[in-house]
Every structure is written in structure tokens, then in C-alpha cells.
Chain A
Amino acid sequence: MCGIAGIFFKDGQGNRPVGHALVDMLDGCQHRGPDSTGFALYGAGDDHLVLRFLVGEGPEREAAIERIRSILSDFAATPVEERLTGVTWRVTVAFAGDIQAFAYALERGAKLLSVGRRLDIIKDCGTARDVDRVYGISGINGTHGIGHVRLATESDVRPEAAHPFWATGFADVAIVHNGQITNYWKMRRALEQRDFEFRTENDSELIAVYLADQLRSGASLNAALERAVEDLDGTFSFLVATGDGLGCAKDKLAAKPMVMMETDELVAIASEEVSLNRLFPGRQLNTSEPPPGSFATWSRSILP
């Protein structure tokens, strides 16, 4: 139960105010979910891999970091830069091996929030303003990003239960989702039989892994979303981001809201128009609602 937002700057310059825009948009729909807030932010990226772990704040933190270091060394991944912020530890590494095996191993060290060359997921309990204060989201520039405010219904209010969800095992794929997937277990079992591992019982993680699997087997984001709208049962409005693209999809019952606008410079999508107006106060926006059972994608082919 929640609100979602996404922004995509078409020029692909890594210096666009993605963090600032998402904080404003999520603050605009915070009434939809006051428990936790999260951001998946995409930068220009380089050859290094950005890992962000949930390590907590107490004495368990050092132990968690030690466990991670040991696994990194097992995989010959050399830390280049590291930083502790809030309850997370962000480490940049040089690594060129198989990311799925690497990620599954790292999960044994501590909860891994994201892995990517461009992607960095930051999520914690509290409002958009709270998370911004601790993690300095507004100051983070990039190319695109998605965000989420959450009202916890069945699971606890914990940072790891917050969105966005990273597609565990797949670099640079993240998702935010409003709704409920009713054939969750059926789809999860099918993926598990093919040796995918799930780190939560959250249906949003399933969508992320499902899409990432499609992408890895060569499907375009567009084709992956087309299949998702057919395969997923239940109510959903979700946004998916990849290293160079953004997609949205809406269920056939149109039970969850989604409003979008597109200009020459950007695409902005949110649960409610009030979030879009936060980007352009006082202006009358030309917005549209995706029809039931539809999807759309935007990407930058100029990126490597």
C-alpha cells in the first residue's frame, strides 16, 4: 500500500537533479505511505560496481561489515571507496565476475540493498524528508530514478521491507510497486525451480526478478513488460528502472492509480498528479493516465 514516483531525464547527462525531484514528488504523496521511503537513483556510472548494504547502527554493524569484507575478498573484489550513511554501508568495488553468484554470496554477509554500475538504492524508515536529512538524497544528481512511500500492511516497518526492490542478482534493475500480486507463490516457485533466490516475501521483489530474468534472456524492456501484464495477477501499478531505461505497467483492472507527463526534456510518473505538480508548482500540466493493462518504456540508446 503506497505511492510511487519516477523521473527520467532524456538527455542522459549524469548531472540532473534526480534526488531533489524524487524527494519533492514523494513528499507530495506521503499520505499514501508514512512508514518508510526509498529511492533508486541512477548515476552516469563507471566500471566500478556500487554495493549498498543494510548494516544497522548498533554493535552488529562492525561484525556485518567484517563479514562482507571477507566475502568480497573471496571474490577478489577490491573495495575502492566506502561510506557509512544512516543504517547502510556503501562500498564501490572493482569486480568483473558473475554478479548473481556474487550477490547471493554477499547476502550471507548482510542484507544487500542493491548492486549496479549506475544504480544505488537508499531506503529507510520515515518520510521522504526524514530519509533526505540522513542520506542527503536532494544532493544526488543522475540520469533517472524511481521512489516509493510505503504503508506497511502485513510485514514489519523495517528498512529492508521498504521499497524500491532490487532484482536480486541482476545489476541495475530496480522496481517500485503499488498493489498486490495474487499469484505470487505460483510465479515464485517457477523461478525458484530455476535456481533464483528470493530474499523477501515481498511481491515487488518477484516482479523485479521476473523482469530481470526476461531482460537477461534477451527480451527488450518493452517485451518484458508486455509479458508481465499478462503473467501477473492482482492489482498493480509499477515502475521499473534499468541502467538506461524506465518502464511503467498497470494491471487490467486499473485498480491502482498512475499519472504521467512527458516533455522534450523529461518523463515524470507518479501515483497522483499532486506529485507531478510538485515539480512544476502553479502550472497546468498536460498529464495522462495509462489505460488498464498497458505499459510503456523510455530508454537512452546512446549510453554504452
Chain B
Amino acid sequence: MVAIDLAVTPVREANQRIRALAAEGQDIDIINPDARHHIGVGLVTPTSVRIHGSAGYFCAGLSDGARFEVDNNVGWAVGDNMHRGSVVVGGNASAIAGVAIRGAEIVIRGNMGSRAGQVMKAGTLCCAGNASFLAGYMMYGGRIIILGDSGERVGEDMTGGTIYVGGRIVSLGADARETDLPAQERLEILEFLDRYGISFHGSLSRIENAGTKLRYGTPEPRSRPQPYDRGDEGGAATGYWNRRVREDIAIKAQIGRYRIRGYGASKPMPDFGDIDFARDVEKGLAHPDPLAAVSLETTVGSRSGAKPLGLSMPVMIAPMSYGALSRSMKIALAVASRLSGVAENTGEGGMLDRQREEADQLIYQCLSGRLGWNVHNMQRADAIEFYASQGAKPGLGGQLMAKKVTPDLAAMRGIPQGIDLRSPSRHPDVLGADDLVIKIEEFREATAYRLPIGLKMGAGRVQHDIKIAYKDGFDYVALDGVQGGTGAASTEVLENVGIPTLAAIQEAMDGLKEIDAGNDMDIVLMGGIKDGVDVVKALALGARACAMGTSLLIAAGCIACMQCHVGACPVGIATQDPDHEQRLEVRTAAEKIHRYLETVRWQIAALTLGLGHTDVRQLGRSDLVALTPEAAALTGLPYVPKRAATAA
């Protein structure tokens, strides 16, 4: 036993010592914890940690294999995402006890706060006292044992798993139902309670998912999205009630709900084509070797002192999930990232081993459902990205239709297979900028302050949100405009929610300027970035780098049918069906993406040179003009409509 006194040792240092002592096989006593946050976060070596008092938020969070004992109370999110191991809390637990656990055993001897076991995947959360509001909210698996009263709306929107209640069921949540308790399950529970020295002789109620909300009802007929024309038809049908409008109404009349499709917004909105370079760039285009003449190397995320991402050019691959995309496509992107020296991003749903091996640098995303999220993959990533929202569907979680939720994918994400997966729109442990500060610190503790922590943010009220991101201490922000793609989203949201990428970067720069933030928090802009021309314009407006998604899928062979959500991608990119996936050859796809990225590199170099610079960092607003009044209004660039004519 070795004691660490938190009255004199900061938690960051204490966690380092806990890891070192655990590696030596020592058990640890924590003295004077006084409800401090993050005790034991990131511990992946089996040991025993006894906390003599109360622990704060995220006690034992993002850990695997250790046994924690807390004498008194714990704050929010005890045992967050814990794999194996256990936490026994002598007093009460605050909100979201056992959030997102993946196999651990969490025992609370007192009462527990609201939303206990939210998005848990496996393992046991046991509360000897009463639970509060929304216990088992959106749980995917595992079991919750509540020996006291259940609290209101127990099992709200649970997908899988089981909840047992010894006291009163105050009220059942949406899509939860009470069932009989098989004798075998009761024995297993009593065995569990006995193991933790909890005596219980009462009866237990059993609650499970009622199965009314796991799948959409009537399927949507297959169709190809119609163009946004207004004068496409003569005769009785006016352009106003054009084919697109009529088809939309007819399909909704059939299915009785919103429609879903892949890709991003298709309606005309201001974009990078509405701004132009302020000077002729022929000099750069005519240069025999722009790549030799221009410095393109870019780092992202050095603000906090973490090791930044090092990119061979100011480009990275946009986050797209294994799930929306096939395994082959994710591996092709990883290979391409290595060939072109840029960063790949896991998106939602976890990290593939082969993807990690192939990728030059790999960003690991944390989404609200914590699907495929775990400390081991965090520790082998090159950056962590906290997903708040995305440009194609700000404010909503991911969607993955049942055809894509295969057994393999479901196991990786920790969810039941064959459901229409709708990820939560909110993170369980972040309901405001104040909570987010504590969450970021948890990530830093779990990765020993080594990795940049970024924020993925859909463009909504960017001017405010970017300030919050800055104050919360993010190393970079990945900012995604409405032109950004997605594997599946409601068409109304795709077309009507969010602001254009062009407006988003300007709002971000304006917001940062308002708080005198300088340039230390990098902005990675994405959302419809097509080529090196767009990248150079984005950089000139203030972005540090750009991320490309849809354009790279097209490079790999995507035919833009916009039916990514269906799961029957004709070219094997956005599918989990082996027959379809085999149409994509990893090596060929990777080479195509790589070749395309190299043309992007050449464009960036040539245009930068053409504008009179030798380093992409020298690009600035004076390199640009607006071609339309709208683009001028959005960006504040001078309105010079004749530029397009002279360039032509």
C-alpha cells in the first residue's frame, strides 16, 4: 500500500504516480481526496485504489481493469466508459453513474443521481439505494440493478440491456416495459449482490426495451434526388410545383415521416465559387515546379503544448465512420493518408486495427453515443476530437440504418445488431460549456496530456460557439459547414439547418477577434471542400487547414447517387454488404485518393505561388475578392464582380 495525499499532490501528478505504482504491482490509498475530479482516469493496469473520502467527476473514468473503492460520495460520471474492473462507492453517486460502461461493475451503496447508466453497453451498475430520473436512459446493453425506487421514466429510450428494480417503479420511460423475472436471472443478481456483501431478500421487477422505436416503420421508396430547378417543366405543372417538390410530397404521403438520404445540402447557397483571387495567378500556374517553391507543411493543435498533428500540406481527411462507409473504404482512406502524408479520422463508431496500422496520423472521434469509444484506442490515436455536431445535421446525432448495423459493426460499437441506429443528439456528460471543461480535462488525463484535443462543430451560431471552444481550451476546432456530407440524415435538416461553409469560417474569425484570441487555436475548415482552389481560399480567410470528405469518396469511385443510407452502395464505398463491398478494391481506391490529393497539393502550391507567397501561412484576406453581393456580405471581402470576367 502506498498513500498519495491530494492535499499536497495535484490530481495530474497523482494520476501519473498511480499508473507508475500500478505497473509495479502496488495498491494505492488516496488521502484527502476532497471531491477532486478525475481521480484514476486513464488507468489501464489492474490494481486496487482506495479513495478515503469523496471523489469528484469522472472517478475511474476511461479506465480498464482496476478496482476502485470510494469511502464517501462521487460526482458526475463515476466509471465513465470503464471496461473491466470495478468501482464501489460507499456513499451517493451524482448524475450519470456508470455512463457508457463496457463491462465494468459499478456499485453504489447509497443513492444515485439522474440518467444513471446512460448509453452503457455492457457490465453491471448496481445501486443499493434509490435512483433518480431517467435511469438507464438510452442504454444499449448490460444490466442496472436498483434495490430502492426506480425514479421517474426508468429505461427511457433504452435499446438493449435489462433494468431490475427492488423498490417502486415510479414510472416507465418511453419504449420500456415490465416483464417477468426468470428465476435464473434472479439467482445471478443475488450472486452479484452477495459478492459485494449486499443483503437483499425482496422481490425484483424486470424492465426491458419494448421494441416499438427500434426501426422506422414504412420503408422509403428508392429514388434519385431531383435537381433544384424551377423551370424544368412546361404545361400545367409550373416550375414552382416542380418534380422535386411533388416527389417529396408524394413520398411523405406514403411513408408518413421525414425522408432520409446521404450526402450534404444540394440547394444553391453561397460557396467558395463566389469568391475569387484578387490577383492573376498565372505566374504560379506557369512555374515549372511550384511544389519546390512553396512551403506547405502544416501543424494543427499545438495550443496546449500537446504534440500537434504534422501534415505534409494543409489538408486532412474528414471524419467518416466505419459504418457509414465500408471497412474497405476506411482502410483505403487510411492508406491514402499515409501515401499523401495527411491525417485520417475515425469518425463515429470506433477504430479499426488495420486503419490504425495504415494511417499516417489518426484522429479518434468521441461522439454522444460513445459507440466504439475506449481508452485503448484513445491512447494509440494522434489526436482526440470531441464531436459536438456536424455541418450536414447540426444538433443531431449520427444515423445508421439497420442494413448497415451488421453483427461485426454492432459488436464494435457495443449495440444490438439490426436496429435503425439513431445516436443521441447530446453527450451524456456535457450539457454546457462548464461541463465540457471537465470533460476535456478527462481526455487529457487519459492520454497523459500528449495529444491535441479538438472540437468537431457543425456551423450554426459559430460566432458564439467558437468563443466557447476557445475558452474551454480546445487545441483546434474542426468547423463544418452546411455543404458537408453525411451517410444519412433527414432531408429537411440537410437542406435547411446550418450555415454555408463560407459564412462559417468568417464568423469563426470574427468571434475569435472579438475576444482577442489571436491565432493560437487552429481552425480546420470542412464542408464541401472540393479541391486545392477551395483550400487556398479557406486558408486566405483564416483556416489553418481543410478537411476533405465527399471529394475523396468521389475520387475513389462514388457516383453521387445520394443513397448512402440504404446500405447497398453500387461501388462498395457506403455499404456493409460483402457482395457490394467487394466491388471496392482497397489498393486501387487508395491510389486514386492519393493521386487526387496530390493534385490538390499541386493546386495549393501553384496558387499560393501565383498570389506571390512562398508559404501557405502567408495567404491572407488581401488575396481574395467577392464575386457576388451575397459573398461580400458574408465575408466582408471587397465586391469585385469583374474579377470573374478577367480571369476567364
User: Which A residues form the contact surface with B (CB < 8 A)?
Assistant: 1-3, 31-35, 151-154, 157, 178-180, 235, 253-257, 259, 271-274, 276-278, 281-285, 287-289, 291-292
Q: B75-127: which have CB < 8 Å to A?
A: 75-76, 91-92, 94-95, 113-115
Which single residue of chain A is at the shortest CB-CB distance from B93?
Answer: A289
B72 lies within 8 A of A285 (CB): yes
CB distance from A276 to the nearest CB of B (A): 7
CB distance from A287 to the nearest CB of B (A): 6
B7 lies within 8 A of A33 (CB): no
A254 lies within 8 A of B35 (CB): no
A291 lies within 8 A of B133 (CB): yes
Number of interface residues of B (CB under 8 A): 38
- The CA of A168 and the CA of B472, in the complex, are separated in Å by 31
Instruction: Give 1 or 0 for each of B51-92: 1 = CB within 8 Å of chain A CB.
Output: 001101100000000000001110110000000000000011
CB distance from B470 to the nearest CB of A (A): 11
B434 lies within 8 A of A3 (CB): yes
B76 lies within 8 A of A257 (CB): yes
- The CA of A292 and the CA of B34, in the complex, are separated in Å by 25
List, sorted by A's number, 10 A–B pairs whose CB atoms are closer than 8 Å: A151-B472, A153-B433, A157-B515, A235-B431, A254-B114, A255-B432, A274-B56, A276-B35, A285-B72, A287-B92
Q: Assess A292 versus B133: contact at CB under 8 Å? Given A2-B434, A254-B95, A281-B7.
A: yes
Chain A residues with CB below 8 A from B115, complex form: 254
Chain B residues with CB below 8 A from A32, complex form: 434, 437-438
- The CA of A282 and the CA of B113, in the complex, are separated in Å by 24
Q: Assess A292 versus B35: contact at CB under 8 Å? Given A35-B471, A153-B433, A285-B54.
A: no
A274 lies within 8 A of B36 (CB): yes
Q: Assess A179 versus B432: contact at CB under 8 Å? Given A285-B54, A291-B133, A292-B132.
A: yes
Instruction: Give 1 or 0 for each of B408-439: 1 = CB within 8 Å of chain A CB.
Output: 00000000000000000000000111100110
Starting from the known contacts A235-B431, A271-B434, A274-B36, 5 additional A-B residue pairs (CB-CB under 8 Å) come to: A31-B438, A33-B434, A257-B76, A257-B94, A278-B34
Chain A residues with CB below 8 A from B35, complex form: 272-274, 276-277
Which single residue of chain B is at the shortest CB-CB distance from A155?
Answer: B464
Chain A residues with CB below 8 A from B431, complex form: 235, 255-256
Chain A residues with CB below 8 A from B94, complex form: 257, 259, 273, 289
CB of B468 within 8 A of chain A?
yes
CB of B303 within 8 A of chain A?
no
- The CA of A111 and the CA of B433, in the complex, are separated in Å by 28
CB distance from A156 to the nearest CB of B (A): 8
CB < 8 Å: which of A157, A257, A284 contacts B53? Answer: A284
Instruction: Give 1 or 0 for each of B462-473: 1 = CB within 8 Å of chain A CB.
Output: 001001100110
Chain B residues with CB below 8 A from A276, complex form: 35
By CB atoms of chain B within 10 A, which of A154, A253, A257 has the most?
A257
CB of B32 within 8 A of chain A?
yes
| Main secondary structure on A side of the interface with B | loop
Which single residue of chain B is at the shortest CB-CB distance from A276?
Answer: B35
- The CA of A3 and the CA of B57, in the complex, are separated in Å by 14
CB of B206 within 8 A of chain A?
no
- The CA of A271 and the CA of B95, in the complex, are separated in Å by 12
A289 lies within 8 A of B92 (CB): yes
- The CA of A282 and the CA of B32, in the complex, are separated in Å by 5
Give the 3 A-B CB pairs with smallest separation, nearest first. A277-B34, A273-B35, A1-B433
Q: Assess A281 versus B434: contact at CB under 8 Å? Given A272-B75, A289-B94, A292-B132.
A: no
CB distance from B286 to the nearest CB of A (A): 49
Instruction: Give 1 or 0 for each of B337-359: 1 = CB within 8 Å of chain A CB.
Output: 00000000000000000000000
A151 lies within 8 A of B434 (CB): yes
CB of B594 within 8 A of chain A?
no
Q: Assess A281 versus B34: contact at CB under 8 Å? Given A3-B434, A254-B114, A273-B54.
A: yes
Q: Assess A281 versus B433: contact at CB under 8 Å? Given A153-B464, A273-B73.
A: no
CB distance from A55 to the nearest CB of B (A): 25
CB of B456 within 8 A of chain A?
no
B434 lies within 8 A of A178 (CB): yes
CB of B37 within 8 A of chain A?
yes
CB distance from A14 to the nearest CB of B (A): 29
- The CA of A1 and the CA of B36, in the complex, are separated in Å by 20
Q: Assess A273 versus B75: contact at CB under 8 Å? Given A1-B432, A1-B433, A292-B132.
A: yes
Which single residue of chain B is at the shortest CB-CB distance from A274?
Answer: B35
A288 lies within 8 A of B92 (CB): yes
Chain A residues with CB below 8 A from B75, complex form: 257, 272-274
- The CA of A31 and the CA of B35, in the complex, are separated in Å by 14
- The CA of A1 and the CA of B472, in the complex, are separated in Å by 11
Instruction: Give 1 or 0 for each of B435-472: 1 = CB within 8 Å of chain A CB.
Output: 00110010000000000000000000000100110011
B464 lies within 8 A of A154 (CB): yes
Chain A residues with CB below 8 A from B434, complex form: 1-3, 32-33, 151, 178, 271
Chain B residues with CB below 8 A from A157, complex form: 515
CB distance from A13 to the nearest CB of B (A): 28
Chain A residues with CB below 8 A from B468, complex form: 1, 151, 153
CB distance from B47 to the nearest CB of A (A): 23
Q: Assess A282 versus B133: contact at CB under 8 Å? Given A259-B94, A292-B114.
A: no
- The CA of A21 and the CA of B36, in the complex, are separated in Å by 18
B132 lies within 8 A of A291 (CB): yes
- The CA of A284 and the CA of B113, in the complex, are separated in Å by 19
By CB atoms of chain A within 10 A, which of B35, B72, B94, B115 has the most?
B35
- The CA of A210 and the CA of B49, in the complex, are separated in Å by 48
- The CA of A235 and the CA of B433, in the complex, are separated in Å by 13
Chain B residues with CB below 8 A from A1, complex form: 432-434, 468
Chain B residues with CB below 8 A from A273, complex form: 35, 54, 56, 73, 75, 94
Chain B residues with CB below 8 A from A274, complex form: 34-37, 56, 75
Which single residue of chain A is at the shortest CB-CB distance from B467?
Answer: A153
- The CA of A288 and the CA of B94, in the complex, are separated in Å by 9
Chain B residues with CB below 8 A from A287, complex form: 54, 73, 91-92
- The CA of A284 and the CA of B91, in the complex, are separated in Å by 10
Chain B residues with CB below 8 A from A3, complex form: 434
Chain B residues with CB below 8 A from A33, complex form: 434
Chain B residues with CB below 8 A from A271, complex form: 434
Which single residue of chain B is at the shortest CB-CB distance from A150?
Answer: B434
A281 lies within 8 A of B32 (CB): yes
Instruction: Give 1 or 0 for each of B15-46: 1 = CB within 8 Å of chain A CB.
Output: 00000000000000000101111000000000
- The CA of A274 and the CA of B59, in the complex, are separated in Å by 13
- The CA of A278 and the CA of B7, in the complex, are separated in Å by 11
- The CA of A1 and the CA of B115, in the complex, are separated in Å by 21
- The CA of A59 and the CA of B537, in the complex, are separated in Å by 45
- The CA of A259 and the CA of B467, in the complex, are separated in Å by 29
- The CA of A304 and the CA of B93, in the complex, are separated in Å by 40
Which single residue of chain A is at the shortest CB-CB distance from B431?
Answer: A255
CB distance from B527 to the nearest CB of A (A): 23
Which single residue of chain A is at the shortest CB-CB distance from B464?
Answer: A154
A272 lies within 8 A of B54 (CB): no
Which single residue of chain B is at the shortest CB-CB distance from A293?
Answer: B133
A284 lies within 8 A of B72 (CB): yes
CB distance from A285 to the nearest CB of B (A): 7
Chain B residues with CB below 8 A from A35, complex form: 471
Chain B residues with CB below 8 A from A289, complex form: 92, 94-95, 113, 132
